[in-house]
Structure 1
């Protein structure tokens, strides 16, 4: 003998209706997705395509120019070997960028990071203009200090410590490790 309690039966019926409605909603969503209405659209990014094409053209141009120099072999590299390898890497990178130009549309890009542009761009330019006059150590320290302020999270003391660490590491590697002859301090400083 089965005993039916009206409150429980009503609750089970309501839950069944909810499950059926959920199933129907999912079935509609799946059909819409298969029809392409809710799928992400595939778009063509012209900026990336142009960038990839420029990389490929520059790589081909410099590879062609490197053939005027002696290539040598992998064990005895000539003056044209390294530019040729870099040119081929540039062509490969351009091809990857060009392939990524046709991509699935994602989230839109955020605003331009003006702070990063303002601090990162002048740092190597400053280094290039001051390395002969100031010398390697001060030019690198100041360039790293300028670039470190591109981040909102960088505190002044941390920026100084980071710049000092980069400078010490670079002097150890390039001057002592590799034995590259360069002036640590230039003629603008009377040391």
Structure 2
């Protein structure tokens, strides 16, 4: 088993995100929540707080699973960091550019494919799984759950 070095900056960022999410949830619970069809003033802040807390926990979990050996060179770690810094925002741009002309499913698949390039150790099997699950969850949340009028696949649905 190889040891790994945890990045303190990432741990602090994840902890801050968790703290902010918890504070927002605490404040939102003091307001009237309402229901999904008749949202009160605390409904949306509660959702944002839950999302921030979840993202913070995800950051902490992923950082604890990062497999950067102690003997990895600075160049190896720097190259991985730049790959992520370029490809993750690029995946969001791909999603934005594909959403209207192609639909929700192709845009989500494009996002997953481009973002997966940021992690060269991600297997093709996991990428395929993400490319199936992500559009399905997006459809369930936004089209079925929230009733947003999004085109699922242009020309088909």
| Normalised TM-score (structure 2) | 0.49
| Normalised TM-score (structure 1) | 0.41
Structure whose CA Rg is larger:
1
Greater RCO, 1 or 2 (C-alpha within 8 Å, sep 6+): 2
